[in-house]
Amino acid sequence: MTVAHERFYVGGAWRSPATPGKISVISPNTGQVIGEVPDGATADIDAAVAAARTAFDDPSGWAHWAPGQRADAMERLADALDKRAPEMVRAISSQNGMPVAVSERLEAVFPQLLLRYYAGLLRRESFEETRPGLLGGSTLVGRTPIGVVGAIVPWNFPQTLAAFKYAPGLAAGCTFVIKPSPETVFDSYVLAAAIEEAGIPAGVVNIVPGGRELGAYLVSHPDVDKVAFTGSTAAGRSIAETCGRLLRPVTLELGGKSAAIILDDANLDLAVVGEQLFGATLLNNGQTCYLGTRVLAPKSRYQEVVEVFTALAGSLQVGDSLDPQTQIGPMASARQRERVESYIAKGIGDGARITVGGGRPDGLDAGWFVQPTVFADVDNSYAIAQEEIFGPVLSLIPYDGDDEAIRIANDSAYGLGGSVWTGDHDRGVEVARRVKSGTVGINNYLPDPTAPFGGIKASGLGRELGPEALSAYLATKSIYL
């Protein structure tokens, strides 16, 4: 084993686990064990929540620090993460198969970007105002931190999606218990070391890795005030049921089956838009919730669209996630590869036509690799068009006219992302307005820290990013004067 950790980061210290259980980390590149960390138990969550509660309730603690003081600490954390960027990249890409070229652009950068954004917002934000009343008096309206947050983070973008939660939450004055996915645990130790170096007070951020049962225990813990979750729709429904029964605020960022609408005037020159198309449809080996894996193509240009995406997918270099030249790495786990391959089989069974890919790449027998795969002649009713695959599989669906494209795009249980590809910006915006989704890109797709991100329908509840995320970690109180 190349990496081994013995303890958790809880209460500002490295704490021995309550039980001897271990999480074995398996390389998706080789299928071999590359390390282990302690497997969290309920007693570890109890200790972490107690530490977060003590830190939050402390009259001179994090929640009561001046906004500028919290902002300074968040910027120190961003600096500490900057110093650990190479270590973070290797930790993540060795665990979940994310190509290092992607890790370097996102996982090693985005958390710091968010910390600095919310630190800046914190310096400008007013948390109290007096409003004149209609009945002769006035009201003091204040916003205060909501409390202890249970944050459950998935394996596909473990540090970026953790920062989606803790960056606005820390700015608000909340304290955290973070439960990473058992598939991506090494990177959480890099984060913990950065938290220590930054001088974030003891108990403000606690990290306990573990599986679904541990996550369920955290969600239902009586001393947790809010839950923030990113993951599957099935798990999100279960969490929503628990939070609904407890009347506990929850933010859910769940699955997607987004549509990439190619309008009849779109520029499809891969030399011009290839990088953008790749980022919007196949980023991180297709293991990205918002990707436009349903590509809607006008019948007048359908064959051209098929050829373009076939060429794009066929040109991608598949290989070891730690190789800087790799564009498509392995699936994160053997189970995930089985899932992707089962959907490829369903697509064939429904009558769709594979134009490229469909199997395992030659010469990569040890890891969990799948060829980038494009299906043509797909009907929107097929399983590959309706269900989230979470792999490098695209479904090309023909349409006739903008109205039908929008109807097909909206014929989905999900509503997270989407994109419109056109030579007419105004036309693209009008089409985007009619797509029932929380986010849509025009000739590109990349979430921005300043704008709210999240979905509708089976894609979740609430929003992350932007000032809206800060508000999600604040409780509003009115004092009538």
Token pair of 171 as six digits: 């700015």
Annotated active-site positions, please? 253, 289
Q: What are phi and psi of 317, to 5 degrees?
A: -85, 120
Look-up: residue for tokens 């929540």? 49
* Nearest residue to 113 (alpha-carbon basis) of 449, 451, 357: 449
| 270: number of Cβ within 10 Å | 16
Q: Is the dihedral of CA 153, 154, 155, 160 positive or negative?
A: negative
Using an 8 Å Cβ cutoff, are 122 and 468 in contact?
Answer: no
- Neighbouring residues of 469: CB distance < 8 A, sequence distance ≥ 6: 164, 167, 168, 452, 463
- Label the pairing between strands 250-253 and 460-461: antiparallel
Contact between 263 and 306 (Cβ < 8 Å):
no
* Cross-strand partners of 37: 23
Helix (H) or strand (E) holding 461: strand 460-461
Q: In the block, which residue shows the tokens 């190789």?
A: 323
Six-digit token string for 299: 């019948």
Tokens 């979430």 correspond to: 447
Name every residue whose Cβ is closer than 8 Å to that of residue 406 and which is 6 or more positions away in sequence. Answer: 261, 431, 434, 435
Side chain identity at 54, as an amino acid letter? T
Q: How many CA atoms lie within 13 A of 30 on its CB side?
A: 9
**Residues 279 and 312: beta-carbon distance below 8 Å:** no
